[in-house]
Chains A and B, each alone.
Chain A
Amino acid sequence: MSREARVGIFVLLGLIVLTFFTFRVSKWGLIAEKGYRLTVDFDTASGLEPKSDVKMAGVPIGKVEEIELAGNRARLILRIQQGIRIPIDSVASIQTQGLLGEKYVEILPGKDVQRNLPSGGQIANTLSPVNLDEMVRKLSEIGDDVKKFTDSLSATFGTEEGKKALGDILRDVAATTASLRTVVQGNEARIERILANIDRLSADLSDISAANKEDVRATIENLRAFSDTLKTETPSLVRKLEEMSERVSNIAGDNRENLKESIANLKTASARLDNTLDSAGRVMAKIDRGEGTLGKLVNDNTVANSLTGAFDGISRYVGKYDALHMTLVPWVEYQTGTSDWKYYLNLKMQPTADKYYLVGVVNDPRGKRTDSSSFISVGGNPPVETRIVNFEDDWKFNALLAKRFSRITVRGGIMESAGGLGLEYDVVKDRFSVGADIFDFNRPENNRAHLKLYGNYDIFKNLFITGGADDLLNRDSAYRTFFLGFGIKFPDDDLKTVIGAVPIKP
C-alpha cells in the first residue's frame, strides 16, 4: 500500500468515527432528529433541562428538546420517537428520579386510544409537580393551627372560668386514674410481679457489672413478659397502663421503700372504682359533645384536616423515597454521682441509611439554675457573701442532624437546648456503639462545656442499655458523674400502630 493510501485511510476512518459521534451525541444537527414534536405547558419547569427524558410507563420515549417561556408558564417542546402513540387525553407530569435525582417528564397515557396526539400537538392535561414551596406553605399552615391551638389553650386556662374548667378536668383525670385501680385490682398479682421486676431491674442497673449479667438478662426476660402482657390487653388498657407505669416508675425511682405501701394504698383506693369510672365517662362525654373549649378543640375538624392534608403532602413527597424511618426512643439515665434521674424522649427520623434527624426533649435534673447570694456575718466579722446555686429539673430539647460515614456518625445541632456536636462509633454494627457529645459551650461562671461519653448496647431489637460518664469537664467535681440507664426503641411500624390507636378525631 502506498503512503498516500495509508494516510488516506487513516483520515477517512477518523472522519467516519467523527461522523458517528455527531450522529450519536444528542445536541447536534437537525439531521439526526427523528420522531415528532409535542408541546406541553407547565407552571414551572424548574429542575428540568433540555435533553431530559420523556417517559411513558417508565420507558423512555423521547427527550425534552426545548424549554421556553410561553406567557408566564413554561412551555416544553418534546421530541417523541416515531411510532409511539400518545392518546389525546394523556396527562403529563414532571417527576424526579430517585433522591435528588434528575427530573423527567412522565406521560400517563389516557384512555382514548382511538385518538392520538398529532405531530406538533399539545398535551393539554398536566399535573403540577409537588414542590417544596407548597410543602413549606402547608407546614406553615400547620404552624398557624398549632399556634391557634395554643392560643385557645392559654385563653381557656387564663380565665377564671378556664381555671375552673381545668380544675374540673384535673379532678376528672384524677378520677380516671383512680378508675385504673380497678384494672390493677383485677390483675393485682401480676402487677405486683411486674413492679417487683422493675424494682429489681433498676437495682440491677444501678450496679451493673459483668458478674450479674445473668440477672439483667432475667430482668429483661421479665420485661419482655411484661410488654407481652401489655400487648395482649386492649389498646386503651395499654395506654392506661403506660400512663400508670410511668407514675409507678417515678415512685419506684424516688421512693423505693414506699412503693409497696403505695401499692397498698392503691388497693384501698380501688373501692371507689365505680364512682370514678362514672366521672371519667362524664368527662369524656362532655368532650365528645363539644362542651367546653377543650371539647371544641378536640371536636374541631379544621385542625385535624389541615394536619391530615399536610401529612398527605409530606407523605406524598416522602413516600417517593419510601424510606423515612421514624423511631421514638425514650430512655432514662440514673446518675450515680448525684443520685438523679435524667429522662429522654427522642424522635429519630431517618430518610436514608446514612443520615437522620433527631428531635426530642430531655428532663435534666439540673436543668434550671437559680443563683442567690446572702450575707452572713459570723462572730462580728464583716459579712461574707455566700453564693448559693440551686438546680431544679427542667425540660430541654434536642434537634440534631446526623450524618453517617461508614461506622462513624457525626451529629450536630441543638443538644439539651444548647449548640453541640457529637461523634458516634459503631463497635458492633447495630448492636454496640460508643460516642461522645459535647455541648453547651457557653456555661455560666466560665464553666467548661458539657461533655458526655456514652456507650449503648442493644440487648434486643427494641431494648437497649446505656452507660457512661456525664458532664466530665465540669469544674465542679460534684457534677461529674457516671450514669446507667435503659431505653426502648419504638420503630416505625409499632409507632404507627400506637399513633393509630390514639383517637385523634373523636
Chain B
Amino acid sequence: MTDSTAKKNGALRLAELLGERVHAMVLDLGAIFTLFLQVVSSAVRPPSEFRNIVKQMEEVGIRSMPVVLVTATFTGMVLALQSYSGFQRFGATSFVGSVVALSITRELGPVFAGLMVSGRVGASMAAELGTMKVTEQIDALITLATNPVKYLVVPRVVAATIVLPILVVFADLLGIIGGYFVSVYLMGANPYVYMSKTYQYLEFKDIYTGLIKASVFGMLIALISCHHGFVAQGGAEGVGRATTRAVVASSMMVLISDYFMTSFMF
C-alpha cells in the first residue's frame, strides 16, 4: 500500500469514526426521548408504583443527603471566602451575604446537587439496571407480565424529579449557613448585617427557579442512567461501561440543560 492511500484511509477512518460517534449520539438521544415518552405514558397506567417510588426516594434522596450537604456547605464556605477577599478590594464586604445566597440558590446549589446525584445515583441506577439486563432479570420481568419501563424506570424518574428539589432546599440552607460561618467567624463580618444582606436581595423566584432546575436535573439523570443501564450488554464489563457512560452523560446533561434553563428562566 502506498503512503497516499494509507493517508486517505486514515482520513476516511477518522471521518467514519466521527460519523459513528455522531450517529451513536443521535441514537442515544432518540432512545432517551423515547424512554421519556414511555415513562410518561406508562406512569399513568395501573398498577400504581407508589411503594417503588418511595423506595427510590429513600435511595436517591436520603442516601444522597450527606454528600449533597457536605458539598453545599463547603461550596458556601469557599464562596464566602472568595467573594470576601474580592469584595474587600472595593469595600463591598457587606454584599458577601447577598452573593453567597444568590449564587447558591440560583446556580450552585442545584448544579452541585445535580452533579453529586448524577455521580452517586446515576452510577448506581445504571449499574443496577445494567446488571439486571445482562442477567436477564429484565427479560424475566417481561415474562412476568411486567413492563420494565414502568416497573424500573418510572419510580426512579419520579423519585429523582421529586427528591432533587428537596435536596436542593437543604443544600441552599447549608450553603448559606456555611457562608455565614466563614464570613462571621473567620472574616469577622457583622452577623446581623450578613444575615440581613443574605435575605435582602434574595427573592423567592431565585429559590423556586433553582428548584425547577433541580427537578429537571433529577429527571434527566434518572432517564439517562436508566437508558444506559437498559442498553448494557456483555456481562460485568458492559455494566461498568454503562455506568461510566451514565455518569458522564448525566453530568454533562446537568450542565448543558442548566445553561438553557438559566437563559430561559432569568
Q: A25-B202, A27-B203 are in contact. Are A7 and B169 (CB under 8 A)?
A: no
Contacts A10-B62, A60-B196 supplied; 4 other A-B pairs, CB < 8 Å:
A10-B61, A17-B169, A25-B199, A26-B199
Decide if A28 touches B58 in the complex (CB within 8 Å): no
* Inter-chain contacts of B129 with A (CB < 8 A): none
Decide if A3 touches B58 in the complex (CB within 8 Å): yes
B-contact bits for A59-92, CB 8 A (1 contact / 0 none): 0100000000000000000000000000000000
Q: A6-B62, A11-B166, A14-B169 are in contact. Are A28 and B203 (CB under 8 A)?
A: yes
Q: Interface residues of A toward B: which range?
A: 20 to 34
* Inter-chain contacts of B207 with A (CB < 8 A): 18, 21-22, 25
Decide if A98 touches B58 in the complex (CB within 8 Å): no
Task: Give min CB distance, B159 to chain A, whole Å.
Answer: 9
Decide if B54 touches A25 in the complex (CB within 8 Å): no
With A and B bound together, what is the CA distance between A300 and B133 in angstroms?
A: 100
Task: Give chain A's interface secondary structure class.
Answer: helix
A261 within 8 A of B: no
Q: Which of A11, A51, A98 contacts B91 (CB 8 A)?
A: A98
With A and B bound together, what is the CA distance between A21 and B177 in angstroms?
A: 13
Give 9 pairs: A residue, B residue, CB < 8 Å, sorted on A.
A7-B54, A10-B65, A10-B163, A10-B166, A11-B166, A20-B173, A24-B199, A25-B199, A51-B201
Q: Which of A3, A15, A20 contacts B54 (CB 8 A)?
A: A3
Q: Interface residues of B toward A: which range?
A: 20 to 34
Task: Give min CB distance, A25 to chain B, whole Å.
Answer: 5
B-contact bits for A324-366, CB 8 A (1 contact / 0 none): 0000000000000000000000000000000000000000000
Task: Give min CB distance, B14 to chain A, whole Å.
Answer: 48
* Inter-chain contacts of B65 with A (CB < 8 A): 10
Q: Which of A10, A21, A29 contacts B57 (CB 8 A)?
A: A10
Task: Give min CB distance, B69 to chain A, whole Å.
Answer: 12
A4 within 8 A of B: yes
Decide if B169 touches A18 in the complex (CB within 8 Å): yes
Pick the 6 closest A-B CB pairs, nearest first. Answer: A14-B166, A28-B204, A27-B203, A25-B202, A7-B57, A14-B169
Task: Give min CB distance, B107 to chain A, whole Å.
Answer: 16
Q: A4-B54, A7-B57, A98-B91 are in contact. Are A21 and B169 (CB under 8 A)?
A: yes
Task: Give min CB distance, A86 to chain B, whole Å.
Answer: 21
B38 within 8 A of A: no
Task: Give min CB distance, B109 to chain A, whole Å.
Answer: 11
Interface residues of B in 67-108 (CB under 8 A from A): 91
Interface residues of B in 153-212 (CB under 8 A from A): 162-163, 165-167, 169-170, 172-173, 196, 199-207, 211
Binding site for B on A (CB under 8 A): 3-4, 6-7, 10-11, 13-15, 17-18, 20-22, 24-29, 51, 60, 98
B13 within 8 A of A: no
With A and B bound together, what is the CA distance between A15 and B169 in angstroms?
A: 8
* Inter-chain contacts of A4 with B (CB < 8 A): 54
Decide if A26 touches B54 in the complex (CB within 8 Å): no
B23 within 8 A of A: no
B21 within 8 A of A: no
Nearest neighbor of A29 in chain B, beta-carbon distance: B204
Decide if A21 touches B91 in the complex (CB within 8 Å): no
Q: A24-B199, A26-B200, A51-B201 are in contact. Are A3 and B173 (CB under 8 A)?
A: no
With A and B bound together, what is the CA distance between A103 and B118 in angstroms?
A: 44
Q: Which of A10, A20, A51 contacts B200 (CB 8 A)?
A: A51
Nearest neighbor of B207 in chain A, beta-carbon distance: A21
Decide if B173 touches A17 in the complex (CB within 8 Å): yes
Decide if B204 touches A21 in the complex (CB within 8 Å): yes
With A and B bound together, what is the CA distance between A60 and B61 in angstroms?
A: 41
Decide if B58 touches A7 in the complex (CB within 8 Å): yes
Which residue of B55, B165, B166, B173 has the most chain A CB atoms within 10 A of its CB atom? B166
* Inter-chain contacts of A7 with B (CB < 8 A): 54, 57-58, 61-62
* Inter-chain contacts of A28 with B (CB < 8 A): 203-204
Nearest neighbor of A7 in chain B, beta-carbon distance: B57
Decide if B62 touches A22 in the complex (CB within 8 Å): no
With A and B bound together, what is the CA distance between A21 and B105 in angstroms?
A: 11
Q: A24-B199, A25-B207 are in contact. Are A6 and B169 (CB under 8 A)?
A: no
